Amino acid sequence: MIARRAALAAALAAPLAAAPALRAQGFPQRNLVIIVPAAPGGTLDALARFFAQAMGPNLGRSVVVENVTGAGGLVGLQRLMRSEADGHTLLFGNMGVMAAFLALNPQAGYDPRRDLAPVGLAAHVPMVIAASPQSGVRDLQSLLSRIRERGDRATFGTAGLGTTSHLAPALLLHLAGLQATLVSYRGAGPAMNDLAAGVVDAVIDQTVTMIPAHRGGTAVALAVSGPRRAAAIPEVPTFAEAGMPQFDLVVWNAFAAPRGTPAPLLQRLAAAVEAALGDAELQRRLEGLAAIPPGAEERGPEALGRLIAADTERWLRVVRETGMAVN
């Protein structure tokens, strides 16, 4: 009798166990949406569009980018969390909204470790500090001296509270023992517009945003993070070469789905990201903007889940132990 009951239970459980795998068959059933929690014109927007174009052929559907701005990325995050967990809606975020956000916005009611289903890492991108062309500043030490003299009258434009372009100047000012005013915008694009116009003194953002601005003369790059200079702007020194080796912030960018998305769908989406990383045109674009593809051991949902958890704890600790100003 016991044996018959066990056999019956196994028979009933088999279709349930197979159900998630079956849900991946025929996926996707419609076009996919990538939510970018920032305005057009910034790093997240540019990278998301590169990947959307490269992922579409593998998925057999169009992949559309939707910019959802506000509250340093929280509005876009909420849009993702309200979406059906069927694999057709993704978030393209970075270390800011997908890890450090909790330390910077502890009252937001969002925890990336709980509210995201990791899909895969897309790229590591160095940070560049740039001055306004109107300022006359042409090197990092001159900018730091200007901030020291002006104090709170010195300004950094940021893409909003909780973003990496907010975290970066807060960290730099803490490390340098300086104070300045952080001015929040609804994305990197508007911040860069005001940098070009001289409304703000400086911006720190990823190379994807900064290299075109520096080359176009709308920003003056002063230093780049990471161990070496960016090949696309070889005249710009590293932070270490510019006299501030303690600032070494390189930003990871990644895809996530809503919490509860079935594992087979996450794996299918991860495969599309993997295929995009193998696309020659995407590789050319990433290389031209000093973006670094993830290593083999960093790819896939499990690796990204570990990274989100580790970096969330890291920034909670950094903000707590340093008392770094985040607003």
CA angle at 28 for the pair 263 and 254, rounded to the nearest 5°:
55
pLDDT on residue 104: 81
Which is more confidently placed, 13 or 54? 54
Tokens of 235: 């005249």
User: Residue 268's closest CA among 94, 58, 16?
Assistant: 58
Query: Average model confidence (pLDDT) for the chain?
Result: 90
CATH for 126-224? 3.40.190.10
Domains 31-124+251-322 and 126-224 share a fold: yes
Class at the top of the CATH hierarchy for domain 31-124+251-322: alpha beta
Cis peptide before 15 (omega within 30 of 0): no
* Rounded Cα distance, 248 and 307, in Å: 18
Least confident window among 99-108, 151-160, 317-326: 317-326
User: Model confidence over 95-136: pLDDT tens digits?
Assistant: 999 999 888 888 888 999 999 999 999 999 999 999 999 999
Whether the per-residue pLDDT at 34 is higher than 50: the answer is yes
Tell me the angle at which helices 263-277 and 43-59 cross, rounded to the nearest 10 degrees.
Answer: 100
Q: How confident is the model at residue 326 (pLDDT cuts 50, 70, 90)?
A: low
Tokens of 206: 């990823």
Whether the per-residue pLDDT at 172 is higher than 80: the answer is yes
Whether the per-residue pLDDT at 39 is higher than 90: the answer is no
Looking at this protein, which amino acid is placed at residue 62? S
Query: What are the Cα distances from residue 4, in Å, to 12, 14, 322?
Result: 12, 15, 63
Domain ranges of the chain: 31-124+251-322, 126-224
User: Model confidence over 210-255: pLDDT tens digits?
Assistant: 999 999 999 999 999 999 999 999 999 999 999 999 998 999 999 9
Q: Which residues contact 244 (CB under 8 A, 6 or more apart)?
A: 140, 144, 172, 175, 176, 223
pLDDT on residue 207: 94
Whether the per-residue pLDDT at 22 is higher than 70: the answer is no
* Rounded Cα distance, 50 and 193, in Å: 22
DSSP-derived pairing of the beta strands 63-67 and 202-206: unpaired
